[in-house]
Structure 1
């Protein structure tokens, strides 16, 4: 093998190794189960999926407000108002707050349900 091919092969292997290390760090930072949820959401963006942490749900950021309101309406909750990241709902005189926060990147939102009064997973 001449010198030029050795340089090309070593460069290719180096770039491949750097890409694998970057992917491993990304998956380790986010968590393997959350990467699976993100993959599921890429197939259907109008769903809310349950995360490993109790009372937390993941959804795509586009249309997340409408998806949350539709899901809560289906569960019998009435939307009252929004204050910042908190969405206030009422059902049978009982009030709950669902907070939304963007994570990892701007494409995903995590909902945290106060007192776990409703299961948002679709």
Structure 2
């Protein structure tokens, strides 16, 4: 398989720009004259070989997606914890059913409750 001229050009450009960036010249290139050179313009400006990986678009997209997934996991965990730990408050119907099933331990039976004079709290006698 032979490479087309366009592919050869990109391969040469890739090799040349990789060598140019590896040499460290773009990092030291602060003057305007240096930034107007052909290699700097082609490699750093047009093809972004000099841009660090954390300043590229794909990194921002990946970091944003990871942050969104993490946020969804945290929100899901909080909602799950709230629903799991939430206790059902007894209603009048459930209290009546409880008193009918076990009158000895029922809180609805006023005949068997007395005030404890020492603590001033209602105490239920078990008969």
TM-score computed with the length of structure 1 as normaliser: 0.31
Structure number having the greater strand percentage? 1
Structure number having the greater helix percentage? 2
Greater gyration radius:
2
TM-score computed with the length of structure 2 as normaliser: 0.30
